[in-house]
Amino acid sequence: MNDHSPTPSATRSPGPAWVLFALAMGAFAIGTAEFAAMSLVPFFARDLGITEVEAGHAISAYALGVVVGAPLIAMFGARFRRKLLLIALMAVFAVGNALSAVAPDYHWLLLFRFLSGLPHGAYFGVAALVAASLVPVNKRAQSVALVMSGLTVATIIGVPVANGLGQALGWQSGFLVVAVLALLTVTLVGFLAPDQPADRTASPLRELGALRRPQVLLTLASGAIGFGGLFAVYTYVASTMIEVTGLSEASVPLVLGIFGVGMTLGNLAGARAADRARDTTAMAMLAWSAVMLAIYPFVAHNAVALGVIIFLIGMGGGVGSVMQVRLMDVAGDAQTLAAAAHHSAFNTANALGPWLAGMAIAAGYGLTSAGFIGSVLALCGLAIYVLAVVLERGEKARLAATPC
């Protein structure tokens, strides 16, 4: 069945808007978990008696779970009904976050964060395919962006709330909130999502075929490296606000919300532009990120300037929806794996950015050095994306010149 056109089952659903709302709720839960964990680094580091760099490894453990889980679940889940798969993934996500809340020590927390990350990429990948199937081809980026807006809205509402609860009631309460949101998603998807037929022709080998396509690999590499810049800064932004800018812990949720507003606007504006000029939009957003991240270290000492640059860095995060659509376009018949692998790539970035930034901080370059690390990563991601576009256009020109 063509994933790019509305399906009969989709028309029998409560309506595309309600379906997108249900899918976006899952994205809201995942976004709250992913970004709230970063914002709580100073607090569970203090509680568990570890350094903030060590606490950052819990972020990397979650990201590693996404990287491992997305392709494996996509390969073996491609033949399942998408609605059933979405429900199962959110149920596992709820369990992983509930266990994170009761982790008795640092090592158990690492394990439970890894478990929590396993369903992340596959959920987003399958949700994006369902969203794209509900609308015409020229609206796919906007439909996918509406699902992704659950993640970006989480950075406005979910993350500040989870961070505030974490400060008031203990960091464990942040993970408990996520578990509740995940269970709410299970209910909404169960009632609202279309029960699209399973693709009986799918197989692990066919899905793996996506990884033999150079355009798929280059797009994944661009996201895995280029998006690392945002995570390099975001992971340590709470620590920077407290230790460098001199703000109180109570102000952290406000600045995190500012980041979320920027990311939400960047997501929606980027998707609208991408439906007209996909590759130009992606390259412009990566270049934007490189510049904003490079400015970050120079303004981190000023509270107002920090708020502005955090907003502008957040806007660059909208490139995610654009890359998701590009993967759909270049993946051929291996749609499930390619869509899920997109989130493996972005969580490779989630592991790579904080790891490299942590190395710079541990080497004595200070918390603000994360901005320089991030800028270099964004530039590298841009270079890979440009290479992908040049090769794709060259291949199209060669095929056009070849006689039939």
Residues 102-145 pLDDT 10s: 888 888 989 999 999 999 888 988 888 888 778 777 777 778 77
Say if residue 9's pLDDT is above 60: no
Query: pTM for the complete prediction?
Result: 0.75
Q: What is the mean pLDDT of residues 286-305?
A: 94
CA 250 – CA 188 distance, rounded (Å): 33
Residue 390 DSSP code: H
Say if residue 253's pLDDT is above 50: yes
Say if residue 298's pLDDT is above 90: yes
**More confidently predicted of 194 and 155:** 194
Most confident of 48-57, 102-111, 204-213, 393-402: 102-111
CA 104 – CA 127 distance, rounded (Å): 33
Residue type, 63: A
Average per-residue pLDDT for the chain: 83
The pLDDT value recorded for residue 402 is: 72
For 171-206, write each residue's pLDDT tens digit: 888 889 999 999 999 999 988 888 777 666 655 656
Say if residue 214's pLDDT is above 60: yes
Question: Within 10 Å of residue 293's Cβ, how many Cβ atoms?
Answer: 27
Residue 354 CB burial class (10 angstroms; 0-12, 13-18, ≥19): buried
Q: What is the CATH number of domain 8-401?
A: 1.20.1250.20
**Residue 210 Cα to chain centre, angstroms:** 20
pLDDT confidence tier of residue 404, bands split at 50, 70 and 90? low
User: In sequence order, what are the residues at sequence separation of 6 or more whose Cβ sits closer than 8 angstroms to the Cβ of residue 155?
Assistant: 31, 35, 256, 257, 259, 260, 263, 264, 314
The pLDDT value recorded for residue 200 is: 65
The pLDDT value recorded for residue 288 is: 96
Q: What is the mean pLDDT of residues 364-369?
A: 92
CA 131 – CA 249 distance, rounded (Å): 38
The pLDDT value recorded for residue 92 is: 95
CA 358 – CA 340 distance, rounded (Å): 27
pLDDT confidence tier of residue 208, bands split at 50, 70 and 90? low
**More confidently predicted of 5 and 223:** 223
